[in-house]
Chains A and B, each alone.
Chain A
Amino acid sequence: MLKQIEGSHAMAEAIALCRPEVICAYPITPQTHIVEGLGELVKSGELENCEFINVESEFAALSVAIGASAAGARAYTATASQGLLFMAEAVYNAAGLGLPIVMTLGNRAIGAPINIWNDHSDAMSMRDAGWIQLFAETNQEAVDLHILAFRLAEELSMPVMVCVDGFILTHAFERIDIPEQAQVDAFLPPYDPVQVLDPENPASIGAMVGPEAFTEVRFLAHYKQRQALRLIPAFSAELGKIFGRATGGLLRTYRIEDAETVVVAMGSICGTIKDTVDEMREDGVKIGVVCLVSFRPFPVEALGEVLAEAKDVVVVEKSIAVGVGGALADNIEGALRNLEKRPRLHSAIAGLGGRPIPRDSLRRLFETAVTDPWEGPHFLDLNDRVVGREIHRVRKVRRSGSTAENILRQLALTSQLPQD
């Protein structure tokens, strides 16, 4: 049913349609509206057979989900940013135990300095934790991906994180098609655990393992996650048929047929990039986009296929692996390594801590990549003047104080200075 609805609320309705049995809630912006929505659905009785538990921390949220899932219940939680870091130990544990928990991540920057706005640092911090990580481009996709996530998680017995851009998606009101219960039921069978805490059949779960088996355990976790490279397209197709629209997949391409420059990105920014591409196409630039849905598992082959003909690949990502550059760009590099005609790779860091990513800046970035390529990561719309001043100041004064504060002071000052 089509609804004019907030993204978070749409996701809550979609999650409810998946008949979760235990939901753990702990507030952190920007995921709050999702669990609030679910709380309402449980309290009003619309979502039956569901325990909604207000926990005392994100660490507890995921731990409660771990217990519930291991005991055979379909478990869900949501978090963002600091919350994801606070539950970090349990994030790895849930994956190690092979528990099919679904978690929404309302993508948000990580402090310090504390920042509530959107980027992908949080998701990137857990990229090696063993969870499947799917990124939604639109709220419609966020709805669909949650339904896909439960099926995928339970099929593989592996947790899935659905990453949705904080505010940009979570707080946006738009027209979203909410599936019917029967449609979701047709797609998602009841949870049938691989191993369960059962007094009839007692098992010890989560015991210690030594060097003699650990490598094999990890190999099989890796192997199992790679199975999702096959299952994600298959389930997406199945879901697409039921819903009557294309959805999910490992990645989506846009106007890449004859593209010499291909931009790769994840999440909602793909929309702005598509608009920029349309604009540049009108001016005759051969450019296209690959919107990556599945970051974990990382679809090396699928990427290789869609990037094989490109001359330049520009990776736009909303996080920075400090001391290295772009983690997504690094991963893409791996996908390009075995191509016959290896395209040039250009890494751009954009939208950190909610910095807007305007079309003009993107267009300039894509053009410069071809005409005047840069080394290492390029920070989109970096205020060089402010950065320069701060570096000089820090060199002069030992007690130089908070960088964040100094930059804001400078900005206040420079706004009064004539622009060059």
Chain B
Amino acid sequence: MTDVQMTDVPALAPDEAQQKLKFYQKGTFTVGNRLISEGERSVQASQARSNALTSGHRACQGCGEALGARYAIDAAMRASGNDLIAVNATGCLEVFTTPYPETSWQLPWLHSLFGNAAAVATGVAAAMRVKGKKTRVIAQGGDGGTTDIGFQCLSGMFERNDDVLYICYDNEGYMNTGVQRSSATPPAARTATTPALGPEPGNVFGTGKFVPKIAVAHNIPYVATATVADLHDLERKVVKAMAIHGARYIQINVPCPLGWGAPSCDTIKLARFAVECGLYPIFEAEHGRVTHARKIRKQIPVREYLKLQKRYAHLFRGGVDDPRVARIQAICDAHIAEYGLLGDDEEV
């Protein structure tokens, strides 16, 4: 028996008796986080999210593009107070979200052509300006619609600094037409037009372009790369972009289970590995200067990333690594050096 009252007992155990819990979710890739304050939570975690790209669409299971678009557009919707118009290039996103009379889009949405989304968005923005409306405008397309056929319109929109946020969903190929090579297809990757045949199967080395860098060279107010492996970061970048006026560009790495030859459940893992091996640098740039690079948390050899995908299966035939794996590793190393991807994470 003790006469100590319960109310006299301190609320916390002595320091040495406390469990050292690490709430790893905070500041990590995880999204549905109830342990952090309201303000820090993701847009998707909010019941008030707009669901601008709502359920019921026809994307493949595990489609990175569908995921990326949902987060990006909802974040843009919140940032604009739901006063937003979207222009969409032809491609998977356009096709799987819409065939008439159905649509997954709960915001005004216009599809014109494959290669003109940036210019059409310029027109919409011009109309808003002339009408004195505050409505914001985004354009979106796949890597093919952005880096190849839509590139001239994109560059024109950048150069004029039109008030458009362009979002490129980079799944590294023309997926809607059956997985052909685009200028964003990485070296060695097998596509329908870079078959895994001949002495050097898959896509060639030394070709292709990384449009975020070209966007930076246009000196536009904001450029960023993002990944569906870090949806907090993706949302933050969209929100940041929406706070700026003028031409803005965000390119999101969105794994495509079908085109990459990977299980649907590996989409996030693949996106994370693409970042962690250094192949897909995640950075931000403002007015022509790189201002921030997202550090690699736990560096992995690119081999780990490649091995998960059938589009690289020819690199590991017969249990031996093709020497080109080392060449891809060199590309990763170059990215790590160029963007300073190793070291302390300044982000959290």
Chain A residues proximal to chain B, CB less than 8 Å? 21-22, 24, 49-51, 53-57, 59-60, 63-73, 75, 89-90, 93, 97, 197-199, 201-210, 213
With A199-B107, A204-B98 already in contact, the answer to whether A50 and B113 are too (CB < 8 A) is no
With A55-B156, A202-B109 already in contact, the answer to whether A210 and B130 are too (CB < 8 A) is no
With A197-B85, A198-B108, A207-B103 already in contact, the answer to whether A64 and B126 are too (CB < 8 A) is yes
Closest to A199 in B: B83
With A54-B160, A207-B103 already in contact, the answer to whether A49 and B130 are too (CB < 8 A) is yes
A218 to chain B, nearest CB (A): 15
Interface check B124, CB cutoff 8 A: yes
A51 near B126: Cβ-Cβ < 8 Å: yes
Q: Which residues of B contact A205 (CB under 8 A)?
A: 108-111
B85 near A56: Cβ-Cβ < 8 Å: no
Tell me, in angstroms, the Cα distance from A97 to B111 when the chains sit together. 10
Tell me, in angstroms, the Cα distance from A68 to B94 when the chains sit together. 20
Tell me, in angstroms, the Cα distance from A53 to B156 when the chains sit together. 11
B116 near A68: Cβ-Cβ < 8 Å: no
Tell me, in angstroms, the Cα distance from A97 to B109 when the chains sit together. 13
B130 near A51: Cβ-Cβ < 8 Å: yes
With A73-B130, A210-B99 already in contact, the answer to whether A67 and B87 are too (CB < 8 A) is yes
Tell me, in angstroms, the Cα distance from A53 to B115 when the chains sit together. 19
B130 near A22: Cβ-Cβ < 8 Å: yes
B116 near A60: Cβ-Cβ < 8 Å: yes
- Smallest CB-CB A-B distances: 5 pairs: A67-B123, A56-B156, A71-B127, A63-B119, A73-B127
Tell me, in angstroms, the Cα distance from A28 to B332 when the chains sit together. 46
B109 near A204: Cβ-Cβ < 8 Å: yes
With A67-B87, A199-B84, A207-B99 already in contact, the answer to whether A90 and B116 are too (CB < 8 A) is yes
Tell me, in angstroms, the Cα distance from A59 to B110 when the chains sit together. 17
A75 near B112: Cβ-Cβ < 8 Å: no
Interface SS, B side? mixed
Interface check B155, CB cutoff 8 A: yes
Q: Which residues of A contact B82 (CB under 8 A)?
A: 199
- Please name 17 pairs of A and B residues whose Cβ atoms are closer than 8 Å in the assembled complex, sorted by A: A22-B126, A49-B130, A51-B126, A51-B129, A56-B153, A56-B156, A60-B119, A63-B120, A63-B123, A67-B122, A67-B123, A67-B127, A97-B112, A206-B111, A207-B94, A207-B99, A208-B100
A64 near B106: Cβ-Cβ < 8 Å: no
B99 near A68: Cβ-Cβ < 8 Å: no
B108 near A197: Cβ-Cβ < 8 Å: yes
With A59-B116, A59-B119, A67-B119 already in contact, the answer to whether A73 and B153 are too (CB < 8 A) is no
Tell me, in angstroms, the Cα distance from A205 to B160 when the chains sit together. 26
Closest to A196 in B: B108
Q: Which residues of B contact A49 (CB under 8 A)?
A: 130
Q: Which residues of A contact B67 (CB under 8 A)?
A: none
Q: Beyond the given A50-B130, A206-B111, could you list 4 further A-B residue pairs with CB under 8 A, ordered by the A residue number? A: A21-B131, A22-B127, A67-B121, A207-B99
Closest to A87 in B: B116
Most chain A C-beta atoms within 10 Å of own C-beta, residue among B106, B112, B122, B125: B112
Tell me, in angstroms, the Cα distance from A207 to B99 when the chains sit together. 6
Tell me, in angstroms, the Cα distance from A73 to B127 when the chains sit together. 5
Tell me, in angstroms, the Cα distance from A70 to B116 when the chains sit together. 14
Q: Which residues of A contact B135 (CB under 8 A)?
A: 199
B179 to chain A, nearest CB (A): 20
Name A71's contact: one of B83, B99, B105, B124 (CB within 8 Å).
Answer: B124
Name A199's contact: one of B87, B108, B123 (CB within 8 Å).
Answer: B108
A57 near B152: Cβ-Cβ < 8 Å: yes
B115 to chain A, nearest CB (A): 7
Tell me, in angstroms, the Cα distance from A51 to B82 when the chains sit together. 25
Name A208's contact: one of B83, B98, B107, B122 (CB within 8 Å).
Answer: B98
Q: Which residues of B contact A89 (CB under 8 A)?
A: 113, 115-116
Tell me, in angstroms, the Cα distance from A244 to B200 when the chains sit together. 76
Tell me, in angstroms, the Cα distance from A198 to B108 when the chains sit together. 6
A358 to chain B, nearest CB (A): 43
Tell me, in angstroms, the Cα distance from A107 to B155 when the chains sit together. 29
Name B127's contact: one of A55, A72, A204 (CB within 8 Å).
Answer: A72
B120 near A202: Cβ-Cβ < 8 Å: no
A59 near B83: Cβ-Cβ < 8 Å: no
Tell me, in angstroms, the Cα distance from A180 to B105 when the chains sit together. 45
B116 near A75: Cβ-Cβ < 8 Å: no
B110 near A70: Cβ-Cβ < 8 Å: yes
A63 near B113: Cβ-Cβ < 8 Å: yes
A66 near B120: Cβ-Cβ < 8 Å: yes
Q: Which residues of A contact B115 (CB under 8 A)?
A: 59, 89
Q: Which residues of B contact A24 (CB under 8 A)?
A: 123
Name A60's contact: one of B84, B94, B107, B152 (CB within 8 Å).
Answer: B152
Name B111's contact: one of A21, A198, A207 (CB within 8 Å).
Answer: A207
Closest to A65 in B: B123
Tell me, in angstroms, the Cα distance from A209 to B99 when the chains sit together. 6
Tell me, in angstroms, the Cα distance from A90 to B116 when the chains sit together. 9
